[in-house]
Structure 1
Amino acid sequence: MAQVSRQLEIEDLIGAIERSGAWKWMVQTYLPPCPICPSCKEQITGPRALATFWEMGRVYCKSCGSTFTPTNGTPIHETSWSPEEYVKLMLLLNADRSHSEIAATLGKSSGAIKDMRERIALRHQTASSCPADTAQG
């Protein structure tokens, strides 16, 4: 009975995941506390650029002229995975679901699940500091 209850809790959590909450979790887990250009490592400080970053848009760096997406530095960078799918994957992996169960739940192939697990294993959280006024509020 406890296993059935736990399975229902996981399914309820998966259904409740929203884009904004999933993206916020990814930012807090994988990115420095402030946006930094991956090309020149300069901090992004302009109000418009910061708003674009937090909304997952393409960001322009005034320092070097490059553009980048905020997913740079996360396991979903250059993939078709959304933040919601990634967080759902993490919940299902934590619940010890098989690759085939996870693939069926997320509508992905077992190979895609395996590839993402490998991406997760390769990522390391980086620490950085920045002025409080540019950190997400």
Structure 2
Amino acid sequence: MSDLSAQKRLAAAVLNCGVNRIRFDPARLSDIEGAISRAEIRELIEEGVIKAATAKGNSRGRARVRAAKRSYGHKKGYGRRKGTAGARNPSKSQWMQRIRAIRTTLREMREDGSIDRRTYRRLYRRAAGGQFRSRAHLITHVEMITKGRVE
């Protein structure tokens, strides 16, 4: 068997990958041996004689399991913490989570007829101003409006 390292190097350059990923068709080694230019290598690649093996990656499975365990209370004690409370759960992300839930609830209430368009708009603006602590707070406020206790 002849040395095909030059062809492997050219194929790697054409396919934009590492030399170790280049695979040759064993039945066509004589054709590959004759290919000494990039153009000839490109032709063999188009014919499917030369291929690049798929890149191997590192599995994220273990990392996902670790993250899932952390998210429901495991290994969250003081000794594990590096950042401040504000760095670990920033106030902006807390706000985004809260306001999205409130706005979704408002939209649903408007669509099912619990509140009219004017009330929706008024409550939407109040939510943006930070009047409601949570979705539950908004719902109790709407209930009080419908009972006539609040403006």
Q: Taking structure 1 as the reference length, what is the TM-score of the superposition? A: 0.25
Please identify which structure carries the higher helix content: 2
Q: Taking structure 2 as the reference length, what is the TM-score of the superposition? A: 0.24
Q: Which structure's CA Rg is the greater one?
A: 2
Higher relative CO (Cα under 8 Å, sequence separation at least 6) belongs to: 1
